[in-house]
Amino acid sequence: MYSLQPIRSQEDYKASLKEIEHLFEAAQGTPEFDRLEILVTLVEAYENKHEPIVMPDPIEAILYYLESRGLTQQHLEAVIGSHDRAIEILK
């Protein structure tokens, strides 16, 4: 059984993820569920420190959303209601 400990390395991180996967179906209120919650907290802390998610530029996020769904600026205009406003937002 994986012993609870701080995650200090990539190996610790991988072992923690494996244990989370093993405990994923634990019923709430059980010791296994408590263990799962602790491990998730440890993993989140490790990820926030070592693999932070960088927030994208808002315009880049809009453009990515449109492109990834095969949408065009005209689709954005339809949502916003104005061609000029859509152009203003994207600039």
Residue-wise pLDDT for 27-42, tens only, equals 999 999 999 999 999 9
CA 28, 32, 38, 39: dihedral to nearest 10 degrees? -120
The mean of the pLDDT values for the chain is: 92
The answer to whether the predicted template modeling score (pTM) of the entire model surpasses 0.85 is: no
Please say whether the beta carbons of 55 and 82 come within 8 A.
no
Please say whether the beta carbons of 43 and 17 come within 8 A.
yes
The residue among 27, 24, 19 whose CA lies nearest residue 2 is 19
